[in-house]
Amino acid sequence: MGKIILKGRGILPGVAEGRALVSDEQIVWSHGVEPSQGVIDDRKVKLHGQSIKGKIFVYPYGKGSTSSSTWILETIRCGNAPAAIINRETELIITTGFLYGRLLYEAAIPVVDQLDQDPLAVIKTGDLVRVDGAAGTVEVLSA
Amino acid sequence: MQLTDYEKRMLEGGEGPAPRFAMEVLVKLGQIYGADRLVEVSSAQIMAHYGSLHDAGLELAEKFVALGGRFIIPTTEDPLSICDRHWRDIGIPEEYAAKQERLRQAVLTLGAQPAWTCTPYLAGNLPRFGQNVSWAESSAVSFANSVLGARTNRTPAGLNYCAALTGRMPRMGLYRSENRRGQVLVRVAAGEMSSLDYNTLGLLIGKSVGNRIPVVEGLPDTTGVDDLKYLGAAAASSGVVALYHAPGLTPEATAGDPFAGDKPQESLSFGRDDFTAMQREMTTAAGEAELGVVGCPHYSVPEMQNLAGLLRGQKLKPGCELWVYTSPTVCELAQGMGLVEDITAAGARIMDGNCLVISPLGKNHYRTMVTDSAKAAYYLPSEHQVGMIYTDTAGLVSALVEG
């Protein structure tokens, strides 16, 4: 299979390549991701217990508390952040967390959303994926 | 994005390094989300609880202090992650309390008011109809938008510091009139409603509408401010409701058609049977309650009066605790009225300026809690791994006191 290229909105720039972790459920960072380990500890989601560290983390959108932005920032501070974020729709709470991560901890983690194909349908957990946040592109290199 | 001369001066550093940093964040976010300009915001409600801000949030607040920042609009904050009266005796670690103390000192240095409450509107942070503010805390956001008719987005923790330092936010989301229209019609047919009923209704609404804007019809004329506080807090827990309308009760829906001429996307109706079923669903414990939790959102003076009346002359059972969450402002009024004495004489603790959703439980491992709050019943079981009994205040008191 040839590589697939998706085009969307570049929220935050940066280039990252890594293995995808895909959730078809909303992700709550606040009380849902343990920053000191980079592990999803929300018992209500299927990815409970999975590590997000270094992954291309794909999920539809965020849910829940306005404090998720500082849970994201703490995960970055602890060095346990994903390599990139791909959402259907990236809300302000998520963007704020990763923008602060850039300003405080020089973590250039790309964030893209509004892709021309549904990332949840095209990308599978374990796929090798390359994200270019400035161009707003996602390449699925191998399944 | 269009900026005024003053905003440009802040962005270029003419007002100092802290407003410059804050303006860079606001302009960047505004560009990402296509805002045409910034709006002036007249107050901020920020988060300064270590339980959610962690070391990263502490470093952010201390960075603004190091840059010489000052909040230029009235700024209140959410509860702290410790209660000054009781953190030692319930067994919160010293190191945790010390981090919280550093965070408190940072925001006070920046010029915040020591409000420490999720109900800032009961502590002097009270915007008028139509006024733009920048608030965090989902229940306070709902109250500001819905009950007061002020305008705020669900502002992320940390971003409110930028609003407080500059008096600005990007013009997007609920700052724009076209994004405030009702989307889902909710008809309520339940006759007279108790405080618990408003909590339960909020859960039902949030679960059904998600992040859309409900228009709630059929609420009784006797609906009070505390009732709307609970309705909004619950709908912002089970859903992401930042604004609801209730014709005849909330100002925006009373000033004009809340659907602005459009048809609702969906119509729902809730009655007594739905309330009963949801109430049962929220009770997850079969055993006897060991810890009662009230004041989520923070208890008002009338609620402190009600609780004091229920507890007067009673004693908590041995091994049972009752933690009463309220603001320092309300606590002071309650103290002056003798209510604090009635409540504490029964063996309950007043946890003013604190919130159990964002705080450690301390040294005791409780298995079963009881609460009169839908928001507490929604969050506490997963936050503290406990079973929950969800009932009205009178039922809660009778479960905890000696027979």
pLDDT of the residue at A64: 64
Shared domain for B144 and B265, answered yes or no, is no
- For the cut 70, the answer to whether the pLDDT of residue A94 exceeds it is yes
pTM for the model stands at 0.95
pLDDT of the residue at A2: 65
Residue that finishes a domain, picked among B177, B202, B226: B177
Residue that finishes a domain, picked among B123, B152, B177: B177
Q: How much of chain A exceeds pLDDT 70, in percent?
A: 97
Cα(A5)–Cα(B207) distance, integer angstroms: 36
Shared domain for B137 and B253, answered yes or no, is no
CATH number at residue B307: 3.30.499.10
Task: Give strand pairing partners of A84.
Answer: A56
| Active-site residue, A65 included | yes
Which tokens in the block code for residue A44?
């209500």
Residue B248: CB atoms within 10 A of its CB come to 11
Whether residue A66 and residue B141 make contact (CB cut-off 8 A), yes or no, is yes
Shared domain for B76 and B194, answered yes or no, is no
Shared domain for B253 and B297, answered yes or no, is no
Instruction: Give B-chain residues touching A92 at CB under 8 angstroms.
Output: 29, 33, 153-156, 159, 172-173
pLDDT of the residue at A61: 87
- For the cut 60, the answer to whether the pLDDT of residue A25 exceeds it is yes
Shared domain for B159 and B26, answered yes or no, is yes
Could you give the number of structural domains in chain B? 3
Shared domain for B14 and B162, answered yes or no, is yes
Residue that finishes a domain, picked among B142, B177, B212: B177
Shared domain for B48 and B145, answered yes or no, is yes
pLDDT, averaged per 10 consecutive residues of chain B (403 residues), comes to 98 98 98 97 97 97 98 98 96 97 98 98 97 96 98 95 98 97 98 98 95 96 97 94 97 92 96 98 93 98 98 96 98 98 98 96 93 96 92 98 89
Shared domain for B272 and B290, answered yes or no, is no
Regarding an ipTM greater than 0.90, the answer is: yes
Sequence-distant (6+) residues with CB within 8 A of B208 are B184, B186, B239, B268
Whether residue A76 and residue B52 make contact (CB cut-off 8 A), yes or no, is no
Asked whether B25 and B134 are in contact (CB, 8 A), the reply is no
Interface probe for B, chosen from A28, A48, A67 (most Cβ of B below 10 Å), is A67
Shared domain for B120 and B22, answered yes or no, is yes
- For the cut 60, the answer to whether the pLDDT of residue A1 exceeds it is no
Residue B19's SS3 state is helix
In this complex, the residue of A69, A77, A95 whose CB is nearest that of residue B55 is: A77
Shared domain for B150 and B46, answered yes or no, is yes
Residue A81, chain B, CB below 8 Å: the answer is no
Shared domain for B63 and B122, answered yes or no, is yes
Full residue range of the structural domain in which residue B326 is found: 283-400
Shared domain for B275 and B287, answered yes or no, is no
**What letters, b where the CB count within 10 A reaches 16 and e where it falls short, cover A69-89?**
bbbbbbbbbbebbbbbbbbee
- Going from the C-alpha of B56 to that of each of A104, B181, B273, the distances in angstroms are 9, 37, 46
